[in-house]
Chains A and B, each alone.
Chain A
Amino acid sequence: QITLKESGPTLVKPTQTLTLTCTVSGLSLNTSGVGVGWIRQPPGKALEWLALIYTNDNKRYSPSLKSRLTITKDTSKNQVVLTMTNMDPVDTATYYCAHTRWKPFDYWGQGTLVTVSS
C-alpha cells in the first residue's frame, strides 16, 4: 500500500520561503519510473499542478511558478521536498503531493493547508 504524507509549516509570513516535505511509504523512490508531484488548491478554487520529480532526477515545473520553485528528493529518507520562495497571501492553499508511475497521480497525500499572513 502506497501512502504519501505532506508536512511543513501551517503559517508563513509574506516574502518568506516555504519548505514542504512529502514522505512516501510502501514504495522506494529508487523504483524505475516513479514520480512524485506537488499540486496546490487555494480555498474554494481549482487544482494547480506545481512540480514533478522522477526517479532519474528529471524535474518539471509549472512555467508560471518556475522561478520560485525547487523540487528535490532524498532517496535515503524516501522524501520529496518542495521549496517556494517569496511567499504571498495568494499562495495560501492546500498543498498536496501525489505519486505517478506509468499513469498520472494515482496516490495522493491528505494535503496540508498553508496560510500566508503577517
Chain B
Amino acid sequence: DIQMTQSPSSLSASVGDRVTIICRASQSISTYLSWYRQRPGKAPELLIYAASTLQSGVPSRFSGSGSGTDFTLTISSLQPADFATYYCQQSYRTLWTFGQGTKVEIK
C-alpha cells in the first residue's frame, strides 16, 4: 500500500494568514494527488486534483504543487470557511489512500 503522511496534524491560524500543508507519499505517485476540505459535520469537498489543478468552482486562494512524493496545499489568505480539516489522497494505480488529515483551527 502507498502511505500518505500529512504535516502538521493541526495548526492554528488567523483570517488572512497564508497556510501551507504538506503531504508526503511513501513512494512516487507522479501527480496523482488530490486535496479535500472537510468542514465539521459535512462531506469532503474536492479542492485540487492532479496535484495542481483547481476543481471547478473552488476559490483561487487554494493552490497545489508537487510531484513524485512531496506535495503542498497552500491557502493564500485564510477565510472563515477554511477552518476545517484537509486531506490529501493518492489515486496512483488501483488502490487509493487518504492522509490522516490536517485540522486548521482559529488562533
A residues in contact (CB < 8 Å) with B: 37, 39, 46-49, 52, 60, 62-64, 96, 98, 103-106, 108-111
Cα–Cα distance between A98 and B91 once the two chains are bound (Å): 14
Cα–Cα distance between A74 and B99 once the two chains are bound (Å): 31
Cβ < 8 Å to A, chain B residues 65-98:
87, 89, 91, 94-98
Main secondary structure of the interface of A (DSSP, over half): loop
Closest residue of B by beta carbon distance from A66: B95
Instruction: List residues of chain B with CB within 8 A of the CB of A39.
Output: 98
Cα–Cα distance between A109 and B53 once the two chains are bound (Å): 23
Whether B46 and A46, one on each chain, are in contact in the complex, defined by CB atoms closer than 8 angstroms, is no
- How many chain B residues sit at the interface, stated as a range, is 20 to 34
Nearest-neighbour CB distance to chain A for B56, whole angstroms, equals: 9
Other A-B contacts than A60-B94, A105-B46, A106-B49, 8 sampled, CB-CB below 8 A, are A39-B98, A46-B101, A47-B101, A49-B89, A49-B95, A103-B50, A105-B36, A111-B43
Cα–Cα distance between A64 and B51 once the two chains are bound (Å): 26
> Considering the complex of A and B, which 10 residue pairs feature the smallest CB-CB distances, nearest first?
A108-B43, A47-B98, A104-B34, A103-B49, A49-B96, A46-B101, A46-B100, A106-B46, A104-B91, A60-B94
